[in-house]
Amino acid sequence: MDLDDVVKVLEGVAHLVSKLSSDQQNELIDLLGAMADAESDPARREFMEGFPEGFRLLDDAV
């Protein structure tokens, strides 16, 4: 995949995540944690574990 396309996709995800309510953000954080716990692929687990911080969900989480 072209790196410019990757950046566009990640920017789109960041925009959508920023529009979630606080409750929705907390639900997403919980879901990502459960998915990471069940993930056997180390790279995918690391991505899921880092997603909340990387997309600044933890800054606004209640």
pTM attached to this predicted model: 0.78
Query: Could you state, in order of their start, the residue ranges of all structural domains in the chain?
Result: 21-62
CA atoms in the 13 A half-sphere facing the CB of 35: 16
Q: Tell me the pLDDT tens digit for each residue of 2-57.
A: 999 999 999 999 999 999 999 999 999 999 999 999 999 999 999 999 999 998 88
> Nearest to residue 28, comparing CAs of 57, 50, 62, 59?
57
